[in-house]
Chains A and B, each alone.
Chain A
């Protein structure tokens, strides 16, 4: 099965290991992975900042780059949500692209959703020793219904114990540019997330969106917690956490 990997701009710049972990998981599940080299960003920062035209330009670029891929997989709920749930509205003014954008939206998947619901992966080969707690990042959860999929794969991993936090669906306060425009409020919201994570006694908080990871990790460390690891679900599933 041919799959296009949309790495996402944050993973490319900040934490490439997540991209390689996604690559490994897909290849191990028997996919032939295509990584278009010209890819940059899905356009979300522009879209959520009200710069619709900039977002449209990038959406068209993604559309062209992945048009040949039967499936597109994204290791990020928010970037996947951008393509899957927002592109059709974003490109509504361009009627000639409607068929193509609908086609792209319908075959774009968040990584764990793709592994579980399309590839029917039952378990992954790697192990993780420790207690983890899973944070449901907002877009993955509320735009794409990613909830059961990562838990299903994680809970079957050898050595791994899943302890749920009290409010796994509560926003971490990241919100893209919100984290900078309203830094104080954002950090305060992150505080509650940090406390919830810490109260589980988990060795690591696992989630599927790098933006939220940076926010949670940044706040945990500033609060003096050097212990709780913040890991992407792809890193854990692929056994690439060191």
Chain B
């Protein structure tokens, strides 16, 4: 996927002016945030499970080489074909090769963020293959030629009314206002594609090393049809998705759906182990699994490694005050919100996403809700340090910080500077005690806020005066 993260500021400003977006995102602030808070109460030892999940993920990441080979052996033993791709381009080519060698004309696809990373849909379409997204949100995104703005709720930036208008135009049916009716309509449109597709593509929430199984967690049933109806099934997964055992999967699942949508369990949970066996009623003739690096080993070897624990629940973005106001698109790549502010620079280059790690208040709401305890604010701070080390910050900011540090380490100069600043600031204020317009860089503050004026004398001065009068 093309990266547009360098336009973050302009894109965010545009989103702030969009009242529809704010209304659409109220779903997230309501349903997902309060839903999570309610449903984690079901577990009386949520924090212990969270710590356990962190350990499970860390252990898996520490043993990726061994686990991936174990996964490959077991998957092959069950009849699957395993492919390895070092890059996203290589993954796309492997998918196309499989499609071509099976005379595939139509593909149905269940949601995959890895597919978004590689731009798989566009790549296959260019090769003349008809690709149909079957997740309702992804379908809406595909037919409106949009991009996902959330990793589990890709169309969350659209209101019900916008989608109703889209369906009316696209399907040529009378306008519906009921979500269940709109869903049924989409289902009817999709059904023939499920039945005529030659190949199904899914992502994988987990790869299970001990059994060679791929796991997908879904709510709509489209995933299960994608894995069973077409004659070829291709699952694509990043190398970090592997877990040692089925027991580990069930453990992590206790956190995944609760953190994601506030559900105790998802509607569907699909375990795929090998293709159709002799005597099986359903299933594909071929089952291919493509295991993709795509920059993961580089992150694994870096100080951002903890980000690879991510199980893609989206809780960090649901709870992020910035995301809640601008949505996912301004982040400019596949993963928005706090995890995106780490993964985007990590995968697509620090210099291509300078705003992302800085556009956060470091409130750490993301860190406390992350089910695998990724220290997101710390990782964003590390990325800020890398920007400074590589000289990627603007000169005004570098000089400003240098001057501040220089003065703050010289108490006499600092005392004098603040003494003057306190007085100047006082003078700038109106009778209401507020500064309505700050000069220079301070204007960015006063554009949207007043600045309560300083009291006029510093604590240091007043304390010294009190000390003197006490003596």
Known contacts A142-B367, A170-B321; is-contact A14 B448 (Cβ 8 Å): no
A180→B445 contact, CB < 8 A: yes
Q: Identify the stretch in A53-61, A113-121, A146-154, A197-205 within 8 Å (CB) of chain B at 4 or more residues.
A: A53-61
> Interface 1/0s, chain A 147-178, versus B by CB < 8 A?
00000000000000000000001110111101
Would you list which residues of chain A between 85 and 121 have a CB under 8 Å from chain B? Answer: 89
Partner of B411, one of A17, A38, A43, A219: A38
In the assembled complex, the Cα of A221 lies from the Cα of B407 at a distance in Å of 32
B362→A175 contact, CB < 8 A: yes
Determine the chain A residues whose CB is within 8 A of the CB of B322 once the complex forms: 182, 185, 189
In the assembled complex, the Cα of A41 lies from the Cα of B360 at a distance in Å of 22
Q: Identify the stretch in A5-13, A126-134, A234-242 within 8 Å (CB) of chain B at 4 or more residues.
A: A5-13
Q: Which of B362, B387, B407, B441 has the most CB of A within 10 A?
A: B362
> Interface 1/0s, chain B 331-354, versus A by CB < 8 A?
000000000000000000000000
B441→A178 contact, CB < 8 A: no
A14→B452 contact, CB < 8 A: yes
A218→B405 contact, CB < 8 A: no
Is B364 positioned at the interface, with any CB of A under 8 Å from its CB? yes
B454→A14 contact, CB < 8 A: yes
In the assembled complex, the Cα of A15 lies from the Cα of B457 at a distance in Å of 9
Known contacts A48-B381, A187-B449, A222-B450; is-contact A57 B361 (Cβ 8 Å): no
Would you list which residues of chain B between 448 and 471 have a CB under 8 Å from chain A? Answer: 448-452, 454-455, 457-460, 462-464
Is A70 positioned at the interface, with any CB of B under 8 Å from its CB? no
Q: How many residues on B have C-beta within 8 angstroms of the other chain's C-beta atoms?
A: 64
Known contacts A180-B441, A183-B444, A185-B325; is-contact A19 B459 (Cβ 8 Å): yes
Is A190 positioned at the interface, with any CB of B under 8 Å from its CB? yes
Q: How far in angstroms is the closest Cβ of chain A from B153? A: 20
> Interface 1/0s, chain B 391-429, versus A by CB < 8 A?
001000100011011011101001000100110010000
Determine the chain B residues whose CB is within 8 A of the CB of A19 once the complex forms: 459, 463
In the assembled complex, the Cα of A39 lies from the Cα of B464 at a distance in Å of 13
Interface residues, chain A, with chain B CB atoms under 8 Å away: 7, 9, 11-17, 19-20, 35, 37-41, 43, 45-52, 54, 57-58, 61, 89, 138-139, 142-143, 169-171, 173-176, 178-190, 192, 213-215, 217-219, 221-222, 226, 230
Interface residues, chain B, with chain A CB atoms under 8 Å away: 9, 12-13, 16, 321-322, 325-326, 358-365, 367-368, 378, 381, 383-389, 393, 397, 401-402, 404-405, 407-409, 411, 414, 418, 421-422, 425, 432, 434, 441-442, 444-452, 454-455, 457-460, 462-464
**Known pairs A138-B361, A142-B368, A174-B361. 7 more at Cβ < 8 A?**
A38-B411, A46-B404, A50-B385, A142-B364, A182-B12, A184-B16, A221-B434
